[in-house]
Amino acid sequence: MPQGFRSLQQVEEGPESQEKERAAGNIRAFDVLCEDLDVFCENHIDLASYAAIRRKQQTQKRLAFVQDLWNDAERFDKIVSSGRYLKLCHLTEWISDCDEQAWTRVKSEILAARRALRARSA
């Protein structure tokens, strides 16, 4: 199961600067977690659609939020004491699956675009 990480830059910038970049048409390449560094580099991320990259970013944010719940002892204790521990487990698993599916979509689009580029150049 892949891990979602929130970069320090992403936390410091907040949603306003991300919206400005989106409006300008810029998506920073490694806002998307790149697990296969030997296959993909920053230039390859541009081959995926904006929708696929945006979906991956959203699932990463959600996964980071849930991981923060697990890491914050006070909030975690409140969840356990209220009897919602199993719901948190289920939510974590569901978000992780969504994140994995989003990454699979990004990879598929990149690979398809790379194949199309090779076919055109051949």
Interval 92-104 mean pLDDT: 94
- For all residues of the chain together, what is the average pLDDT? 76
User: Does some domain include residue 2?
Assistant: no
Min mean pLDDT across 23-32, 44-53, 100-109 is at: 23-32
Measured on CA atoms in the order 21, 25, 26, 27, is the torsion positive or negative? positive
Q: pTM (2 decimals)? A: 0.64
Place of tokens 């990879």: 107
User: Does some domain include residue 97?
Assistant: yes
Question: Please, are residues 35 and 106 in contact by the beta-carbon 8 Å criterion?
Answer: no
Q: Is residue 80 predicted with pLDDT exceeding 80?
A: yes
User: Does some domain include residue 1?
Assistant: no
Domain boundaries, position 15: 8-121
Number of domains in the chain: 1
User: Does some domain include residue 103?
Assistant: yes
CA distance 121 to 63: 39
More confident: 17 or 8: 17
CA distance 105 to 53: 9
